[in-house]
A and B are shown apart, each in its own frame.
Chain A
Amino acid sequence: MTKIFFAVDVHGSTPVWRKWINVVNMYKVDVLILAGDLTGKAVVPIFRKDNEYEATIFNKKYTAKNEDELKKLQDIIENMAYYYAIMTKEEANEISKDPKKMDLLFKNAMIDRLRKWLDLLLEKVDTKNVITIVMPGNDDEQYIDETIKSYEDRSILYPLDKTITLPHNYELVSHEFVNPTPWRTPREAEEDKLYKIVEEKIKRSNVKDYSKAIFNFHCPPFNTNLDLAPKLDKNMKIVYVGGKPSMIHVGSTSIRKLIEKYQPVLGLHGHIHESYANDKIGNSIVLNPGSEYTEGILRGFFIEYDSEGIKNYWKIEG
């Protein structure tokens, strides 16, 4: 029996990343997957003046008078899934005026954090014996791919350019793009294009037996329990009907069609944080662990399978 642990959408949260790693030590896991949306959305500048440091988070001012206090301040920011950068106020003003400097600030922050995470992963997980897979999602800039790939020699696998063979000859095909979002994230494609590029990838993967194929697509299939997002009113407040939130489907029709067509044994998805759910499309089991990274909560799915198929799967959160 092989056991997979699958999580998504950490969005820069170090507590969630640590929890994901610790799962290996708490449960015996053979395959560890973190499938996309690794990077965060904001950088908090820590202002240096003489020997003191100062930062403002959610309108609350924090000061650090020595290196220990600075480390604590950095941890506070990191635990909120933000990045930090030490600079002067003049430098901050410069960055705010110059998009190239802003891009560089984010690039450095994202790559630094990712390296720190991957080093921690190597430290805590025996990647020689646990198949460890890390990939970007739609919200991640292209430049983080090289950082992940640079750890392949230490057995952290980047799955987007290859089909990964898992125990019992199961084959994992991965793709990170999603259908267009209102937020113009870095990896989006319109439905017809998405269908075309994902199907090409499936064909190129040379999967021999789709009853042993796992589709690791960040985007969830349309009209399932996996792609339900709360309906929002004009005030961005959740619409309640009969005391319950009214939900709408926002997944991809292309991904659904491809799952219907190829009928993989399993679909691993993410992207829609609210849909912590499982469902079935034909014979295919599809899963989305969702995400509560802002609260530092890890959500994931355990999947147990053998040569005959999926035996069991269950959610965990903590």
Chain B
Amino acid sequence: MSQEAPTLFVRRASGLVRTIGPFTAFMIVFSHTVGGGIHKLAVQAAYTSPGAYIPYSFLVTGLLAGLPTAIIYTMLGSMMPRTGGDYIFITRGLSPILGFVSSWGFWFTEVLSYGIIAWYSIDFFAGALTISGVVLDNPGLTGLAQWLSTIEGHWIVGSLFVFGFALLALFGMRVYSWVVNILGTLAIIGVISNLIILGGFGLATGAAVTGWNRVFGEGAYQKIVQKSFELSSQYGSLFPVSEFSWTDTMRAGIGAIWAYIGITSAVYVGGEIKSPSKTLFISQVLGTIVIMLYYIGLPALVYNAWRVPSTVLEQTGASKVLEQMGIPQDRVYFIALYQFLMNDWGSKNVATLLGVPETHLLPAGVVTTYIVTLLPSELAWLQVLNGVLVGIVLLKDIPAFFLVSSRMIFAWSFDRFFPEIFSRVNSTFNSPHWAIILTMIGGLLGVVLNILSGEWLASVDTTMLYQFAVMVAGLSAAVLPFIRSDIYEKSPAKYSIFGVPLLSLFGIIAFGSNFYFLIVAGTWLNPERDLVMQTFWMALGVAIFTGYLINNVKRGIDVKTIYAEIPPA
């Protein structure tokens, strides 16, 4: 410890304190990243992108976009360890307006998303309670699950989550670090239990068939397969069985990119991180590698466990249909078929088919369903525990999203490009209290959006605006060694390959790959709703920046110097 003692104290300006060490920084990255994305995509992709093999999507997007992005954010964060993340990098390294607008766009998705997460985390808990109610034969738990699943249950509990995490955030990072660390640790236990259950119980041939039939009655698995294939010609392209395709795998990569959002979240609290170079490397670069391994491993295990055995295909007559379609037998996944029936044929019909009450059906689109059913009935406690822990996996996103959102507001405000009140820091808890309150209001709006209409949710889809921000940050990294040599001098990793700085090389890769996925994300947008909404928001960002620019110049503030200098810590 004593070797790292500071050799110079400079008069502080921001009021924030460096209290975040590598463990908490990693937990912020893990919490922000590993949540609904992977635990839904690991099973939903088989239904939505039947031609894709999603572990490959995670591998390719991780190597091409995730890791280079994590590396440049770590290098830039080491040079500019200030709160605000890519807003600081882009405004100082490339262009103030681009920096503000990209940060503004990402904030929009971030702040509303965590309200949406508060809403959706209730689904995970409702799922966990349903599982608990079924395996423990406890109608009280299923009743509570049903109440949680209502709009009323969602908005009451969702709002409480938002309020609760805001309240805790006001107590500053010393308290909030505990919240992040405890929830993160519980979630990691959940993640490990997923791998253990899938690896320990899912690898045996026919384990999923036995497990499913144990929960829903003998022959239930076969009924799902048989009915799906019976409906295949009727539903045409909706039938989720297809041969492997790299094109579909790459297109599914946009979902994988969405699941990777958060691998750079430690830089947004850069002004509160101790030993930034080391901490950012551990949390973001090593953190991304760990997350990549989980993202590849989890769906690979799920696909393996839930591939429909050839004996079942023969029994149900599905093999003949496959032969006619020219699709190999190893491309049929039960997870896809169950979702197909639940979503397209209807859950009522599925309940009738299986002969169980509709409330006893497990949710089709979450990984928990396909994990807990693998467990033997004598391990009911582990089924319940896994369900609850996976529920926490989504809930624990909220504090990380909260930190990123509130610190972005703080950074704009500190630069005097947002009302200055939001850069005020409480002297007792060293927390930007007004920025936290505004973030809370944004989160509540996210909850309200869910109540209003699901359609609105698509327009706050995080991927497009996130892609824009990281793409511009990639460009900033690529040019920074040449146009801001004074900042680049501070880099702890000034390596070059054939005379080209490593930062520029990774910047070009991050820019190119994120540009590609931005285009892919664009093709998923609804031009009449999403594009209009996002364009309006970005235009509002331009207007705010321009307004503050004019006002600051009028006030006699030297704006050029603000954006030429790294803000005081």
B partners with A: yes
A97 engages B18 (CB within 8 Å) = yes
Check if B486 sits within 8 Å of A235, measured CB to CB. yes
**Cβ contacts under 8 Å, A88 to chain B:** 2
Q: List chain B residues, Cβ under 8 A from A106.
A: 9, 11
Known: A93-B4, A179-B556, A250-B558. A232 touches B564 (CB 8 A): yes
Report the minimal beta-carbon distance from B348 to chain A, rounded to whole angstroms.
59
Whether the pair B9, A96 counts as a contact (CB closer than 8 A) is yes
Minimum C-beta distance from A6 to chain B (A):
24
Residues of A within 8 A of B (CB): 41-45, 47, 55-57, 82, 88-90, 92-93, 95-100, 102-103, 105-106, 179-184, 190-191, 222, 232-237, 250, 252-253
* Residues of B close to A43: CB separation below 8 A: 8-9
Evaluate contact between A235 and B485: CB separation under 8 angstroms.
yes
Q: Please indicate the chain A residues that have their CB under 8 angstroms from the CB of B19 in the complex.
A: 97
In the complex, residue of chain A having the shortest beta-carbon distance to the beta carbon of B556? A179
If A180-B555, A180-B556 touch, whether A90 touches B12 (CB-CB below 8 Å) is no
Question: How many Å lie between the Cα of A232 and that of B556 in the bound state?
Answer: 16
- Cβ contacts under 8 Å, B11 to chain A: 41-42, 106
User: A97 to B554, alpha carbons, bound, how many Å?
Assistant: 38
Q: Which residue of B is nearest A139, CB measured?
A: B11
Q: A residues within 8 A CB of B564?
A: 232-236
Alpha-carbon separation in the docked complex, A235 to B481 (Å)? 11
**B565 with A45: CB separation less than 8 A:** no
Contacts of B485 in A (CB 8 A): 235
B95 closest partner in A (C-beta) = A234
Name the A residues within 8 Å of B560 (CB-CB): 232
Q: Does B1 reach chain A (CB closer than 8 Å)?
A: yes
Q: Which residue of A has the minimal Cβ distance to B3?
A: A89
Is A93 a contact of B1 with CB atoms below 8 Å?
yes
Q: Do residues A234 and B484 form an inter-chain contact, with CB atoms below 8 A? A: yes
8 Å CB contacts to A: which residues of B1-54? 1-13, 15, 17-19
Cβ of B568 < 8 Å from any Cβ of A? yes
Q: In the complex the two chains form, is B483's CB within 8 Å of A235's CB? A: yes
- Residues of chain B within 8 A (CB-CB) of A191 are 554-556
Q: Does B561 lie within 8 Å of A90, measured CB to CB?
A: no
Contact between A55 and B9 (Cβ–Cβ < 8 Å)?
no
Q: Are B9 and A253 in contact (CB under 8 A)?
A: no
B1 (CB) vs chain A CBs: closest residue? A93
Q: In whole angstroms, what is the CA distance A92 to B8 when docked? A: 9
Contact B10 A41 (CB under 8 A): yes
**Given A97-B19, A102-B12, is A232 in contact with B561 using a C-beta cutoff of 8 Å?**
yes
Bound CA span A277–B10, Å:
30
User: Which of B4, B427, B557 is within 8 Å of A180, CB to CB?
Assistant: B557
Query: Apart from A57-B7, A180-B556, what are 5 other A-B pairs with CB-CB below 8 Å?
Result: A89-B1, A95-B9, A96-B18, A99-B12, A179-B555
Taking a contact as CB atoms under 8 Å apart, the answer to whether A89 and B17 are in contact is no
B18 touches A234 (CB 8 A): no
Cβ of A114 to closest chain B Cβ, rounded Å = 15
A92, B483: Cα distance in complex, Å: 36
Q: Which residue, of A181, A184, A232, A237, has the highest number of chain B Cβ atoms within 10 A?
A: A184
Q: A102–B10 Cα gap in the complex (Å)?
A: 9
**Chain A to chain B: the 5 pairs with minimum beta-carbon distance, closest first:** A89-B5, A89-B2, A56-B7, A179-B556, A92-B5
Cα–Cα distance between A271 and B505 once the two chains are bound (Å): 43
Could you tell me if B13 and A234 are in contact, using CB atoms closer than 8 angstroms? no
A267 to B514, CA, bound (A): 57
Asked if residues A182 and B555 are in contact (CB atoms below 8 Å), the reply is no
Which one of A44, A234, A250 contacts B7 once the chains associate, using CB atoms below 8 Å? A44
CA distance A301 to B165 in the complex (A): 59
Please indicate the chain B residues that have their CB under 8 angstroms from the CB of A103 in the complex.
12
B555: chain A residues at CB < 8 Å are 179-180, 190-191
Residue of B nearest to A96 (CB): B6
Which residues on the B side are within 8 Å of A93 (C-beta)? 1-2, 4-6
Bound form: Cα–Cα A232–B17 in Å: 30
Q: Cα distance A89–B4 when bound, in Å?
A: 8
29 contacts between A and B (CB under 8 A): A42-B11, A43-B8, A43-B9, A44-B7, A45-B6, A89-B1, A92-B5, A93-B2, A93-B5, A96-B6, A96-B9, A97-B274, A98-B17, A99-B12, A102-B12, A106-B11, A179-B557, A180-B557, A182-B561, A182-B565, A183-B568, A184-B568, A190-B556, A191-B554, A232-B560, A232-B561, A234-B564, A235-B483, A235-B484
Q: Flag if B13 contacts A183 (CB, 8 Å).
A: yes
- Which residues of chain A are within 8 angstroms of B416 by Cβ–Cβ distance? 180
Flag whether B430 is at the interface (Cβ < 8 A): yes
B17 closest partner in A (C-beta)? A99
The docked-state distance in angstroms from the alpha carbon of A252 to that of B13 is: 23
Query: Once bound together, how far apart are the Cα atoms of A136 and B3, in whole Å?
Result: 37
A44 to B568, CA, bound (A): 18
CB distance from B463 to the nearest CB of A (A): 31
Complex: A103 Cα to B425 Cα, angstroms: 14
Docked complex Cα distance between A99 and B5 (Å) = 16
B186 to chain A, nearest CB (A): 27
Residue numbers in A under 8 Å from B9 (CB-CB): 42-45, 95-96, 102, 105-106
Are A92 and B561 touching (Cβ within 8 A)? Answer: no
- Chain A residues with Cβ below 8 Å from B483 are 234-235
Could you tell me the distance between the alpha carbons of A100 and B12 in the complex, rounded to whole angstroms? 11
Residues of B within 8 A of A99 (CB): 12, 15, 17, 427, 430
User: When chains A and B are docked, how far (Å) is the Cα of A191 from the Cα of B274?
Assistant: 38
Bound-complex Cα distance A42 to B10 (A): 4
Distance from A194 Cβ to chain B, minimum over Cβ atoms (Å): 9
**Chain B residues in 8 Å Cβ range of A44:** 7-9
